[in-house]
Structure 1
């Protein structure tokens, strides 16, 4: 079922229920009031008849019957019976009609003083009249023709009003539900035209005031992120192809050179050395690309555990100095932590060590004195590690692009590298709900700071 029809149906059911309850309350209330009013009229008639019969000596039974039949307030099919203390009938307003009653009704009237009941289709009221030491039971019965007619008309009016109201509600519900959901239909039409080839297309956001406009705004934001992801993927494939083509072309050239003519052993040794160098470069690039791809996998697959950041810094420093003894790394605290918890984060030790290895290696590689200055500090919510060098630095424009895969600054072209390391660092820190920032001045040096919330 379409949402429009479902909304119209639900709205119609709610309105129909309200109308039905309202109609039943009106009908029951009116019927109760009409019935009680008629009973009051019967009691009044019974009381009047009893007073005429007992108090007015000039009025005999025949005259009283005439008065009862010709009074302006006479009721339809009206009958009045009066009984004495021995339940003997001493007066009947009509002789050719009978009021059906049970004998125990007279006892009930004497006990309760007033009784309201039914005699076939007629309403019957009984009262106990006491005057001059006499206790008379008066039964008055009549058919409420006017009240019944009024209730019938009311019932018909309520039924037609209910049917008409429900029909009108269904029609208006479908119309207004369609009007309200029309922007969603327009969004669906626009979304159906968006493909991988036109991700730049955006939905109409209206005035951004209602929920549907916000849906369009959020969908446009998703399209923007999707477009960015596609662009990054295309850029990644393009740069990866370019980087892989360079060592592969070198390998091919060296092999072609070796096959061109017979060479001396020393020349073959030189070619093999070059092939080994290019192969190592190709392996390093492939490993970097594979690691970068793995950092984009689901974070739920990455085990997290408490990690002591200063221990990771020291492990990374020792590992880098063992591989490259010519490097110098100075380590210090920006502020002494009061407890181990301030420098303990939830993370993956190997991945965090990979970040620090990359930052320290870059700092030493791009510094003339091959020295990296590492500091660790804490604040109220997080632990941070900064790696500073006194190397080539970069411009503000280059700082905005430095974390893009395969991006290298103009003055870094002469240094070994692929431009993947910092992108990997950023991905790893994003997986740890952290971030990395850079401060740099051209020809003066750079400082990279990684920050992660502590436990």
Structure 2
């Protein structure tokens, strides 16, 4: 079912329920009021009859019957019965009708003084009339012809009003629901035209005041992020292809050189050494690309647990020094933590170790003395690890670009690397709800700082 029809149906059911409730309330309230009013008229008739019968001596029973039948306030099918203390009938307003009553009803009237009940389709009111030492029971019954007619007319009016109201509600509900949802139809039409080739297209955001306009705004924001992701993917593929082409071309050249003519053992050894070097470079690049892709793909599925940053720094340092013994890494605190929790973060130890190894390796690689200085500092909220070097530095205009995959600064020419390490570091720290910043001056060195909230 379409949203428009569902909204119209729900709105119609709500309005129909309200109309039905009010119709029933009006009908039963009016019926109760009419019934109570008719009972009061019957009681007045009973009191009047008893008063004439007892107080006015000039009025005998025959004259009283004539008065009852010809009074302007006579009711349809009216009957009045008067009983004495011994339950003997001393007056009946009609003689040509059989009057049905139960003796227990007379006792109920004497106990309750007033009784309201039914006699077939007639309403019956019984009262206890006391006058001059006499205690008479007077029963008055009649058919409320006018009241019943009014109730029938009211019932017909309410039924037709309810049907008309529900029909009008359904029609207006469908119309106004369609009007309200028309912007969504327009958004659907616009969305259907967006493909991978025209991600720059944006939805009409209107005046940004209602929820539908906000939906368009948020969808445009998603399109922006999606476009950026596509651009990053295209850039990644382009740079990866370029980086892979260089060692592959070198491999092919060396192989062609070895096949072109007969070489002596020394020349073959040189070719094999070059092939080995190119293969190592190709393996290192491939591993870096796979790690970057795997980190991006599984970034939300990495297990996080409490990690002591000092231990991660020492593990990263030891592994790096075992692979490159000529490096020097100095470790110290900016300020001594008050407790172990200040240097404990929620993270993945292997990934954090990879970040620190990349930062330490870069610091040692670009420093003339191959030395990196690592400092740990804490405050009330964060644990910071800074890696200092005295290397070539980074130009201010290139600082924001160094975290892009495959980007290498002009000062990095001549140094080994693919421009992937810092991008991997940034992705890993995003996983840990942290950040990495850099302060650098060309020719003076750089300071890379990673910051993560501690436990």
Q: With structure 2 as the length reference, what TM-score do the two structures score?
A: 0.96
Q: Secondary structure at the match of 2:206?
A: coil
Q: Distance in 2 between matches of 1:94 and 1:353?
A: 112
Aligned partner of 1:57 in structure 2 is 57
Q: Alpha-carbon deviations, 1:56-84, whole Å to 9, x = none?
A: 11112222122212222111222212222
RMSD across aligned C-alpha pairs, in angstroms? 1.5
Q: Alpha-carbon deviations, 1:66-120, whole Å to 9, x = none?
A: 2212222111222212222222222222222233212222222222222112222
Aligned partner of 2:225 in structure 1 is 225
Q: Distance in 2 between matches of 1:80 and 1:281?
A: 120
Aligned partner of 1:93 in structure 2 is 93
Aligned partner of 1:381 in structure 2 is 381
Q: Distance in 1 between matches of 2:92 and 2:117?
A: 19
Aligned partner of 1:432 in structure 2 is 432
Aligned partner of 1:37 in structure 2 is 37
What displacement does 1:301 show?
4.2
Q: Secondary structure at the match of 2:200?
A: coil
Q: Distance in 1 between matches of 2:369 and 2:84?
A: 133
Q: 69-78 or 377-386, which moves further after superposition?
A: 69-78
The verdict on how the C-alpha distance between 1:293 and 1:148 changes in structure 2, with shifts beyond 3 A counting, is: same
Summarize the alignment of residues 141-160 of structure 1 with structure 2, pairs less than 5 Å apart.
141-160=141-160
Aligned partner of 1:209 in structure 2 is 209
Q: Alpha-carbon deviations, 1:137-189, whole Å to 9, x = none?
A: 21112111111111111111111111111111111111121122222211111
Aligned partner of 2:253 in structure 1 is 253
Summarize the alignment of residues 393-412 of structure 1 with structure 2, pairs less than 5 Å apart.
393-412=393-412
The verdict on how the C-alpha distance between 1:315 and 1:118 changes in structure 2, with shifts beyond 3 A counting, is: closer
Aligned partner of 1:118 in structure 2 is 118
Q: Alpha-carbon deviations, 1:407-443, whole Å to 9, x = none?
A: 0011212211110111111112122222111111222
Q: Secondary structure at the match of 2:124?
A: strand
Summarize the alignment of residues 10-409 of structure 1 with structure 2, pairs less than 5 Å apart.
10-299=10-299, 301-409=301-409
Q: Distance in 1 between matches of 2:73 and 2:406?
A: 107
Matched length:
455
Aligned partner of 1:448 in structure 2 is 448
Q: Distance in 2 between matches of 1:124 and 1:232?
A: 91
**Contact persistence 1:50–1:82 (CA under 8 A):** yes
Q: Alpha-carbon deviations, 1:181-234, whole Å to 9, x = none?
A: 222211111111111111111111222222222221221111111111111111
Q: Distance in 2 between matches of 1:356 and 1:225?
A: 29
What displacement does 1:300 show?
5.4
Q: Distance in 2 between matches of 1:314 and 1:87?
A: 114
Q: Distance in 2 between matches of 1:393 and 1:309?
A: 26
**Contact persistence 1:406–1:419 (CA under 8 A):** yes
Q: Alpha-carbon deviations, 1:16-62, whole Å to 9, x = none?
A: 11111111111111111111111111111111111111111111222
Superposition misfits of 4+ residues, deviation over 3 angstroms:
none
Q: Secondary structure at the match of 1:296?
A: helix
Q: Secondary structure at the match of 1:374?
A: strand
**Contact persistence 2:300–2:431 (CA under 8 A):** no
**Contact persistence 1:11–1:173 (CA under 8 A):** yes
Q: Distance in 2 between matches of 1:160 and 1:247?
A: 87
Stretches of structure 2 lacking an aligned partner (at least 5 in a row): none
**Contact persistence 2:50–2:138 (CA under 8 A):** yes
Q: Distance in 2 between matches of 1:140 and 1:348?
A: 94
Q: 37-46 or 344-353, which moves further after superposition?
A: 344-353
Q: Alpha-carbon deviations, 1:322-361, whole Å to 9, x = none?
A: 3323322222211001122211222222221211111111
**Contact persistence 1:364–1:370 (CA under 8 A):** yes
**Contact persistence 1:363–1:388 (CA under 8 A):** yes
Q: Secondary structure at the match of 1:400?
A: helix
Q: Distance in 1 between matches of 2:125 and 2:339?
A: 93
The verdict on how the C-alpha distance between 1:301 and 1:76 changes in structure 2, with shifts beyond 3 A counting, is: closer
